[in-house]
Amino acid sequence: MISVNRRQPLYRKLYNYVLEQIEEGRLGPGDRVPSEKELSGRFKVSRITSKRALEMLASEGTIVRVPGKGSFITESAHGGSAPHTAGAKSGLLMGCVVADVDDAFGTRLLYGIEQQFSELGYHLVLHLSHDQAAAEERAIAGLLEAGIQGLLIMPCHGEHYNPAVLKLVLDRFPLVFIDRYLRGLAASSVGTDNVVAAKRGVDYLIELGHTAITFVSSPPGNTSTIEERLEGFVKSHADHGMVSDQELRLEILKGGHPLHWTMADVRAEIDLAAGHLIAHPEITAVFASEYSVAKIVELAAGEIGRRIPEELSLICFDQPMRYDLEPHFTHLRQRELEIGRKASQIAHDLASGSLEFEKIRLDADLMVGRTTAPPFRPT
């Protein structure tokens, strides 16, 4: 029987089972360990789970895996060596799959991830999915084949959850969502409290005197960030006794990451935003869900002669790091470095069996820039 500790990941229970067999003298140096398939069938777990347990034992020198022959107990393991903490031995791998990174968001996040994993003794293996489900699935498969101890993932936007991600959650693989998360899944996640942050930004616009505010975003795509930012947008209006007019909202048609846009895409987005502003001259402020959306609105406003901030205030999440004292966009700056470090620590704790799962939401800082002002009042 596997030791009964329901808080432990399944792979960790298999790992402990093999160690118990050694400690009790049932397995000695040179003895063959049950294969991935045998462990999977005996204990009714997936092959990923049994493979993970054997890889962990091999990384610590408890067993040696011989291609085509099987796994065998080493001389150093005899006598019941104590379990090692994952990450304590240099050379262990941690995986990271992110949808995309750019100057506005992602660079500092990755820096925090690499910094924390390095301190814990891991090597980081990074993949970009480019917000494509097929690429995300291939990256996960490759990382599992490489023998990662855990995985950080910024999931793709999409109407349906990636089956590869669902399988990891069901197998209780050490997995941490970063920035975005998938609703309804019992998995660890670290990101920004988007509801609170968005509400703070809209509160600021309302306090300046704006009452006709539009929410402009890329399509939500069944991920958490945009939905939560819209929730904060609506909540701010309600708390001020105002109604958020749905007719004023705009979803940018193209969506996706701007690195993948063509000039024709950019032109279409600008035209869409410009048309929306012309159709709704009452709008005096725009809350953009992200930096790339804010840039589109800024260009559209310039083309139709709406001066920022005199005739149109503009606020967004994040912007590229600048070295002047005042930021260009008024924006909500996410704490990327802290998100990366905390997510990496949780992945380590999950891999070592010392944590079940954890959800952390961090604040974002309101940075007042050059794109917001009280609404224009013609004399």
- Check residue 87 and give its pLDDT: 43
- Check residue 255 and give its pLDDT: 54
Cα–Cα distance for residue pair 139/137, rounded to 1 Å: 5
For 22, counting Cβ atoms within 10 Å of its Cβ (0-12 exposed, 13-18 middle, 19+ buried), the class is: buried
Task: Give yes or no for a contact between 54 and 77, defined as CB atoms under 8 angstroms apart.
Answer: no
Residue 9's identity, in one-letter code, is P
Please give the CATH topology (third level) of the domain spanning 194-335. Rossmann fold (3.40.50)
Quick one: pLDDT band at residue 73, thresholds 50, 70, 90? confident
Quick one: pLDDT band at residue 265, thresholds 50, 70, 90? confident
Of 184, 136, 126, the residue nearest 156 (C-alpha): 136
Name the average pLDDT for the chain.
Answer: 87
Residue 132 Cα to chain centre, angstroms: 15
* Percent of the chain's residues with pLDDT above 90: 53
pTM here is 0.77
Question: Is residue 256 over pLDDT 50?
Answer: yes
Domain boundaries, the chain: 10-77, 92-192+336-362, 194-335
Question: Is residue 344 over pLDDT 90?
Answer: yes
- Check residue 236 and give its pLDDT: 98
Q: What would the pLDDT profile of 35-45 be if each residue is shown by its tens digit? A: 988 898 888 88
Quick one: pLDDT band at residue 84, thresholds 50, 70, 90? very low
Quick one: pLDDT band at residue 22, thresholds 50, 70, 90? confident
Please give the CATH topology (third level) of the domain spanning 10-77. Arc Repressor Mutant, subunit A (1.10.10)
- Give the pLDDT mean for 278-304: 96
Name which of 3-12, 78-87, 98-107, 305-314 the model is least confident about: 78-87
Contact partners, residue 56, CB within 8 Å, separation at least 6: 11, 15, 86, 149
Question: Is residue 2 over pLDDT 60?
Answer: no
- Give the pLDDT mean for 119-144: 92
- Give the pLDDT mean for 2-16: 69
- Check residue 93 and give its pLDDT: 93
H helices present in the chain, as ranges: 10-23, 36-43, 47-59, 107-120, 133-146, 163-170, 194-208, 224-239, 263-279, 291-303, 336-351
Quick one: pLDDT band at residue 29, thresholds 50, 70, 90? confident
Evaluate whether 92-192+336-362 and 194-335 have a shared fold: yes
Question: Is residue 222 over pLDDT 70?
Answer: no
Name which of 47-56, 70-79, 272-281 the model is least confident about: 70-79
Task: Give yes or no for a contact between 98 and 132, defined as CB atoms under 8 angstroms apart.
Answer: no
- Check residue 289 and give its pLDDT: 94
Pairing of strands 70-73, 63-66: antiparallel
Question: Is residue 4 over pLDDT 60?
Answer: no
Q: What is the CATH number of domain 92-192+336-362?
A: 3.40.50.2300
